[in-house]
Structure 1
């Protein structure tokens, strides 16, 4: 077992009673009698959300987009990005995600065995396991990052 695997296994043990969030995958609608069906988000499991990482029972993922499931309604939008978010929220609802629940989409699996200085958000920098917590942010040691994120998940701040 590698050092990354050891850290992730220890994190899973500490998170055993912590809440998990749904992860999903956007599926474009198939055609039925030539008529396209609306896209939907299908369930792909559960994961602990640790900032830029999603920790599953068997792996680690880099986060993508997070949407909240909402029933589809007609409304006007000032920006195309708002329209796209509303479409994703409706796709989650069509996929069976209960209204108001969040779902992670656009995530990607990370391979802890293939880390180097250029992989993100997990990387091997100067021989140390690190995580890049934002696009402009620097790297933090993975152990410290996991400690902070697990503490926030297990003991959320008041009114969070």
Structure 2
């Protein structure tokens, strides 16, 4: 089992070292697309997932060796870790409203021609007559049911 574990760890180590070297040498000049290091990491984990499928098939069709068992456990742990990490990243980037906690408090204060919106006591939006002077908030992502209005 140790040989399978070491072989799998060596595979991922080589892939991640190559990704690190490509980032160190080439950098990430165009930030709107994945860099070479991202592609190397993705290919490393796709290759690991394919290796997991092949090793599992071999293990359950008759070749039950300790080496295959170590490969399966290591590849399964790495594949599940990668998938969970990607799900976490994708969920965090799609929910970027800025109001994630339930204890976030939004208050709108209206005084004459001035409207001020506060988020946890800090002004994030100021409007005087028709001119918006300060706007640090995406008003389309505000849950308007939890907003307190104060008229002065």
Q: Which structure: greater helix fraction?
A: 2
- TM-score between both structures, scaled by the size of structure 2: 0.25
Q: Which structure: greater strand fraction?
A: 1
- TM-score between both structures, scaled by the size of structure 1: 0.24
Q: Higher RCO, 1 or 2 (CA under 8 Å, sep at least 6)?
A: 1
User: Who wins on radius of gyration, i.e. which is larger?
Assistant: 2
